Homo-oligomer: A and B are copies of this chain.
């Protein structure tokens, strides 16, 4: 049994991770930490866990975690996360980091976009990026995995095989993404109040969202030269789900060619599915699945990807990475 600790256990992604791990036949949650509500049972913070997990919330102590756990899901905010991850690694724990702290490969990029000094710059560039569909080998041997951002997953999966094959222009990519409100976290702020978010859709962080450099950084590994990518996220009145509508210019390919490349890359994937009809976030809600579709429109191709931001965009990806790190069947804990 793999013993898992969940750090920052009061948020939505942590809840989702706990839920998934409870169904996992070879993993079990043995510690949940938090800065507040220490000593309370986790079900006081997440009533949906009533009757299924009754661990108390504890303070974060790397050494004690090292005794009780094998691997840590670190759901802390960026900056804080890297510092903690360092201590966890020094205590000998394997770590899947949900923050953005180890996703970019250049310290300068990180510090420019996140406006903080990186607490563990030596690690930057040496951490596996946790998309097993593309980086399974690196993840398999890793002790530290950077769990991808929710938006980047929705953009990288459809784009990577096309950029690798050179069949789309890397210099002209638009990613228009729509996300459910859970992406804004569980901290009370005006923007994620029901009265503000319900019955409304809006763009935010246009051209300034930190997931844009993440997309560029990862896709560059496939395109060679850095892709030029414009990213616009939107806050959508629903709990969960991301739909990314991606506009690209084909060069020497068409919709059929795209389907073929996707099939080649993801034909064996238990999670990434190419579909005929247009994807809806509801079709993947609550699952680790991604639905991909393509349409040809004049001189452009429209790529569409749908996933659940809390599962494939966060906690499902983490479980998938766990399975990959431990050489397990990729679908453990992730069956529909």
Contacts and interface: CB of A to CB of B under 8 A. Distances in A.
Interface of A: 12, 19, 22-23, 47-52, 174, 176, 178, 180-182, 184, 186, 188-190, 192-204, 206-207, 228, 230, 232, 234, 236-241, 243, 245, 247, 270-271, 273, 275, 277-287, 289, 291, 295-300, 302, 304, 306, 335-336
A279 to B, nearest CB: 7
Given A50-B283, A174-B174, A243 B234 contact: yes
Cβ-closest 3 pairs across A and B? A207-B297, A200-B282, A188-B188
Contacts of A278: 202-204, 206
B195 A230 contact: no
Nearest to A181: B194
Given A198-B239, A280-B201, A302-B207, A273 B228 contact: no
A200 B280 CA distance: 6
A11 to B, nearest CB: 10
A299 B173 CA distance: 11
Contacts of A49: 336
A199 B239 contact: yes
Given A174-B174, A300-B230, A47 B198 contact: no
B181 A178 contact: no
A243 B203 contact: yes
A195 B184 CA distance: 9
Nearest to A231: B297
A282 B48 contact: yes
A315 to B, nearest CB: 14
Contacts of A189: 188
Contacts of A174: 174, 247, 300
A280 B181 contact: no
A236 B239 contact: no
Given A296-B207, A335-B22, A283 B195 contact: no
A186 B193 contact: yes
A12 B202 contact: no
Contact of A50 (B196, B281, B289): B289
A285 B206 contact: no
Q: Which of A197, A245, A280, A285 has the most CB of B within 10 A?
A: A280
